[in-house]
Structure 1
């Protein structure tokens, strides 16, 4: 596209076309009240003047008369008989010998400045140049070869000026000039052009202009709403989503905090369980030790630390204690810490034995089952007993 090209855009013509298109959307009864003008008066040039036909809004002939230009009072009498002519549109309709029309085929690029292109080469299409005629161009669409179909209607200026001067003698200022053969050959172009020179055109009534500007303002508001409303709705949706996201983030932080607390409690619980599994229960160890030692054996000291236990005491046969203790699942690596000595008072042998304290397999399985129940969602956490403090002291007869 050539951006330096001047585009010929007739704003008044556009609004006339637009108003005509909008008129189809208005009920006929309402349109009759809104329109300032009703019906039309067709002036067809004749030998002595004009053939005048009064048409109603449905284009039905109400009256037809011949008017002589040399007798302008005849037209005044006709207006007196039909007061509706005061609000009718005056149309000068040219005959076949007063204008011409031709179908043109132009390249698509000519659409940007169509009037300048045709006006420059008008003498190729007609016997006249652009300065000798009043002409209008009506686009009729494109061909299958992407060419523009343009209807050219041209009227020589002397002939049209002569007819306009005759109408002025009758006291008539036309609203429109059209061409009868073009309307017959191309009915769709009937209201698409106006050969009336600009100096003869008059501004529309205030009501029509107000309606046009009101329709234009309404269209601009609708276009603005069509552009702004989706953006505003999207903004509202984004704000709603952001608010929802913030709420979810707040809930997620609370859940994460609770999960952190649960993980910390689980870690502490597992730590205690591990300590319990790694450290044998002293009550069971003491019970096992009491079961193994006979009634003749006394313990004077007992020390437990890091799964190692040392016991001191007296026994009639201290050397047999090593085998007895090693036969238990609770004890291993049983050995004397010092040589055996004889107690002169009691006659028993004094001993000091060191051994490793183990947790039997059966007890470990029981503890594992208890830990699994504690970690299950519906299982209660079993209280975990604290490790027994180191016990060093005398023990009586067993």
Structure 2
């Protein structure tokens, strides 16, 4: 099969099969009420007479008789003995010598007008012409090579008209004519054709047929409501839940984005806190440096980066500053960065000293204390803080 293959759907055959399956599931009493006919009476020509067999709804043989043409009243006696025959379906079944059947193959294009095509081509497949026979065709299937397999059933008109005329004298009007070999060889198609001529076919009562179709439609509607409606409702419920889930997923995405932003802010805040904790506290360092330098020494430049500090200034005895700074726990690796020079104006020595900052453990407790708090504490304790030192501490606190 490829994409160009035409898929033929036999809707009529499908609904017939579906109806049989539904009827099989229905209670037997309900099936009897819905059916127009109950049982079958089969008339098979045998010589000049008929073999008559009465079957019930289950296919069991109720009675079997042979009726000769002269015994016109014998069939009436049979009906009186078995009143159910009145509601049975009357079928004329032709024996093997009254017709023939064969499989023929036609082009796929002939499916739309199967009966007409076979009528024109009948003399090619059989020794009869269309005007001399009654025929019917059953589509068996598609061979897959652009051909249709068709079952052709033929009965010469003379072979069929004579038994029909004889039955009509008895008051018997068959509803269907079939062919015994076809019924034996193809039992699945025994109801798929009817050789009965159009002039003998009966039309059922319009009211009864309408009631029958109405009951069938009602039954199908109830089955639809029982089988299909719950599935449809469940499908609608599932779709509603899917829509709700999609809405919740969108809300969750917004919440996740906000949570991600919060986590990023928390991480950045923690990084800043860790950086602050790792860096030396500037105010204790400046305070220690102010205490170590004498009043004759002043600073002109100070550079503080990471754990290292450089100071520049002038002092009467700059060489003594190294020893003074090394006595402090705050400073280590104290050394001159450049040679000492003499300032001709002031007479003092210019120096540039570099050192590493090491915070003593005793300053951790007061690390978080602000310069303004210490200034207020010093004032409340009666201590005097130099104006320059206070200004440096306030400036450092601002940074």
How large is the Cα RMSD of the aligned pairs? 4.9
CA distance in 1, matches of 2:354, 2:370: 17
The worse-fitting range, judged by mean Cα deviation, of 63-72 and 90-99 is 63-72
1:321 matched to 2:325? The reply is: no
Kept after mapping to 2: 8 A contact 1:43/1:93: yes
1:119 matched to 2:119? The reply is: yes
The two structures have a TM-score, normalised by structure 2, of 0.66
- List per-residue Cα deviations over 1:124-177 (Å, max 9, x = no partner): 122323343322223455779896543311123354344334333333332211
1:239 counterpart (237, 243, 250): 243
Kept after mapping to 1: 8 A contact 2:341/2:349: yes
Describe how 1:179-218 pairs up with structure 2 within 5 A.
Answer: 179-199=179-199, 200-203=201-204, 205-206=209-210, 208-214=212-218
- List per-residue Cα deviations over 1:330-380 (Å, max 9, x = no partner): 564485784587xxxxxxxx95866456433x449x9xxx9xxxxxxxxxx
The worse-fitting range, judged by mean Cα deviation, of 146-155 and 122-131 is 146-155
The verdict on how the C-alpha distance between 1:14 and 1:176 changes in structure 2, with shifts beyond 3 A counting, is farther
Kept after mapping to 2: 8 A contact 1:326/1:333: no
CA distance in 2, matches of 1:8, 1:285: 98
Kept after mapping to 2: 8 A contact 1:107/1:148: yes
Map of 1:377 onto structure 2: none
Map of 1:172 onto structure 2: 172
CA distance in 2, matches of 1:322, 1:187: 125
CA distance in 2, matches of 1:215, 1:130: 42
The worse-fitting range, judged by mean Cα deviation, of 200-209 and 36-45 is 200-209
1:253 matched to 2:257? The reply is: yes
Kept after mapping to 1: 8 A contact 2:138/2:150: yes
Describe how 1:149-164 pairs up with structure 2 within 5 A.
Answer: 149-164=149-164
Deviation at 1:195, TM superposition (A): 1.5
SS across alignment from 2:130: coil
Describe how 1:83-98 pairs up with structure 2 within 5 A.
Answer: 83-98=83-98
Higher helix share: 2
Deviation at 1:83, TM superposition (A): 0.7
Name structure 1 gaps, 5 residues minimum: 342-349, 371-381
2:388 counterpart (381, 388, 392): 392
Deviation at 1:41, TM superposition (A): 1.0
Deviation at 1:88, TM superposition (A): 0.8
Question: Size of the alignment, in residue pairs?
Answer: 356
The two structures have a TM-score, normalised by structure 1, of 0.66
Greater length-normalized contact order (CA 8 Å, ≥ 6 residues apart) = 1
Map of 1:359 onto structure 2: 356
The verdict on how the C-alpha distance between 1:240 and 1:282 changes in structure 2, with shifts beyond 3 A counting, is closer
SS across alignment from 2:98: coil
The verdict on how the C-alpha distance between 1:114 and 1:246 changes in structure 2, with shifts beyond 3 A counting, is same
Describe how 1:298-309 pairs up with structure 2 within 5 A.
Answer: 298=295, 306-307=303-304
CA distance in 2, matches of 1:166, 1:220: 47
- List per-residue Cα deviations over 1:225-245 (Å, max 9, x = no partner): 799789757744642441232
- List per-residue Cα deviations over 1:78-112 (Å, max 9, x = no partner): 32221111111111112234322223344566556
SS across alignment from 1:359: strand
